[in-house]
Structure 1
Amino acid sequence: MKKRILIVEDNPMVVKSLEFKLIKDGYTVIISSDGRDALEKLKTENFDLILTDLMLPFVSGSQIIEYIKQNIPGMPIIVLSTSNQEDIITDAFTMGVEDFITKPFSPNELSLRVRRTLAQY
């Protein structure tokens, strides 16, 4: 069975590149363009991995991470962010995310990190 990945990202260009690469790699990809929609999907569907931005409309990426850690323990999360500030990256890891990828990123790097994270869970 294909692994299901939820992408939570409000930038359509980033979504298209993520979706293209991950589908090509053989994953089932579900898209949420804002945090509120992502929370609804997390409550009703099962996923093997979450890729989320931190800056999102309605509900922040940090709030999504908190929800997952409280309600779906063991769900791996990779944060995608334009921020390369050490405190934001440190905060994400403190909240329990498995990985942090700074935008812009190489599709091959993304592919490798997704595969590695899924292999651990």
Structure 2
Amino acid sequence: MLFKIGKVLLIEDDTLIQRAVASKLKKEGFEMICCNDGKEGLEKLATELPDLVLTDVMLPYVSGLEIVNAVKSLAEKPIKVIVFSTMGQEKIVQEAFDLGADDYITKPFSLNELSIRIKKQLTR
């Protein structure tokens, strides 16, 4: 199975999670762009045009749902979106899918599982 190693925009306000995910994905060859809040994430989305966006649902300034909506309304190119959520957010996860999210992963999660899900989304 071939997948495209590309540019990943990670929007996560928990610095420990952000560092762990970025480190794992950099080791696997992905170009990482990291943001601490939704506002910065929207700015990077517009300037960087990543291949995939990883976003937490609960973010400062702009929510992960607003990020999903923004990603899916971009006409420049299709961008995959994986949403992070904590247990008990089933309604929010459903809303993310309704807005166009491609996948979700529940916190806490395995970095290996996340990597597999990213590769699946970027498979040609």
1:44-69, CA deviations, whole angstroms, 9 ceiling, x for partnerless residues? 11211000001111111111111111
Q: Of 111, 114, 117, which aligns to 2:115?
A: 111
1:1-121 aligned within 5 A: 2-72=5-75, 74-120=78-124
Taking structure 2 as the reference length, the TM-score comes to 0.89
Taking structure 1 as the reference length, the TM-score comes to 0.92
Structure 1 Cα separation of the partners of residues 66 and 89 of structure 2:
19
Deviation at 1:85, TM superposition (A): 3.0
SS in 2 for 1:66: helix
Quick one: which amino acid aligns to residue 6 of structure 1?
A: L
Q: Cα RMSD (Å) of the superposition?
A: 1.5
Count of matched residue pairs: 120
SS in 2 for 1:78: strand
Structure 1 Cα separation of the partners of residues 90 and 34 of structure 2:
28
In structure 2, stretches of 5+ residues that fail to align are none
SS in 1 for 2:83: strand
Structure 2 Cα separation of the partners of residues 43 and 110 of structure 1:
24
